[in-house]
Amino acid sequence: MDFELPEDLKMVQGLARDFVREQLRPLERDLLGRAADLSDARARVAAEDEAKLAAIARELGLWAAAVPEEFGGGGLGTLAACLIAEELAQSVVPFECGDVTPLLFECNEGQREAYLKVAVSGAKAVYLGIVEPGADFPKMAASARRDGGGYVLNGRKLVFSRSAAEFLAVVFAASREGAATAFLVDQGTPGLSVVSRQAERGWRAAVRQPVVLVLEDCRVPADNVLGQEGKAFALGRKWLPGRRIVRSARSVGAAARLLEEASTRAQTWQSFGRPVSERPSVQGALAEIAASIHAGRLMVYEAAARADRGEPVGREAALARLFTAQMAAGVASRVAAIYGGPALPPAPGGGISLDVLKHLIAADMLKGLKA
């Protein structure tokens, strides 16, 4: 039982920490705007800034760090990915650092160059069309009809990533009753259109509207089937539980930033002639926040270390996700109370809280699914 991070992982953590502190945080003020209600906040940093950030991340070796080496990534393990995600979550600047959905790791030899390599290099964003409007997941109305040497796709898919100029899509569609097949659909395929109502400005910009992929008699060759026909949900089995741990790490990072903001606020804000930090209720709240963050972090690291040892982590990943999502939401509401009232604390805490809120919404959606 060793709770000390190995030296190499400490270096990764240090790199990510410096990257966030020196590159991402200076952009926050500009991104969040001047208005207290975030009405002039922007959804993303300027394109040239984003390109600059990507170049620096590549240089540091943080780009696509968790993608296996044979697919053109850094080949670091789950724990390293957690450390990086934890640091990146400590900023409101949306920067994904070359993260690619592991469903694409299932590309066969012929698909790797055109899809996986392109996605890992960051040239194209990946739209993951799994969920549908009005459909009861995992049932899906989108259909794939076999036609000659290919398939004809019809239906609508919701994509929850940020809209991008260049993209490729992974679309789940029912090729026969009760069997979903995953298809690689490139931008510009006839019959594929995109409806995006994502706000670029204002506080709503942080709460993403899904992009809708509309498929109307969209014809794709049989070579574009990802994995096996009818076995879409067998994809990524090796990697998906690990992703859940990395997501948990993100909640921990967001909560840690909230704690940092809250303690600064408590030390600088005065009420009735003395700093808020001297009030026992605030001290107690900060201590409880710190304790819950520490607990969440230990859960995440333990699960990640297990994953890196090659052990099954289904249970540990689910436990970590459950705890950290609720923990982060609890921290956000307590921090709001320390800030003195409004449900959403002012920037930059506000932006982080919205992110946390999104985690919670996802958790609630999951609960609704199970009910």
Q: Which residues bind other proteins (CB under 8 A)?
A: 85, 96, 99, 101, 103, 128-131, 137-138, 158-161, 233-234, 236-237, 240-241, 243-244, 246-247, 250, 314, 321, 358-359, 362, 365-366, 369
Calpha distance 15→36 (Å, rounded) = 32
Residue 124 or 250 having the CB closest to other proteins: 250
Residue 114 or 240 having the CB closest to other proteins: 240
Q: And the tokens for 154?
A: 């019809």
Instruction: Quote the least distance from Cβ 325 to other proteins, whole Å.
Output: 9
Amino acid at 205: A
Length of the chain: 371
Residue 233 or 269 having the CB closest to other proteins: 233
Instruction: Quote the least distance from Cβ 306 to other proteins, whole Å.
Output: 16
Residue 253 or 350 having the CB closest to other proteins: 253
Instruction: Quote the least distance from Cβ 88 to other proteins, whole Å.
Output: 9
- List 173's β-bridge partners, or say none: 181
SS3 331: helix
Instruction: Quote the least distance from Cβ 24 to other proteins, whole Å.
Output: 15
Instruction: Quote the least distance from Cβ 254 to other proteins, whole Å.
Output: 13
Residue 33 or 296 having the CB closest to other proteins: 296
- The residues, ordered by sequence, that sit 6+ positions from 265 with a Cβ below 8 Å of its Cβ are 276, 338, 339, 345, 349
The answer to whether the CB of 251 falls within 8 A of the CB of 324 is yes
Amino acid at 12: V
Calpha distance 319→308 (Å, rounded) = 17
Going by DSSP bridges, is the β-strand pair 274-275/179-186 parallel, antiparallel, or unpaired?
unpaired
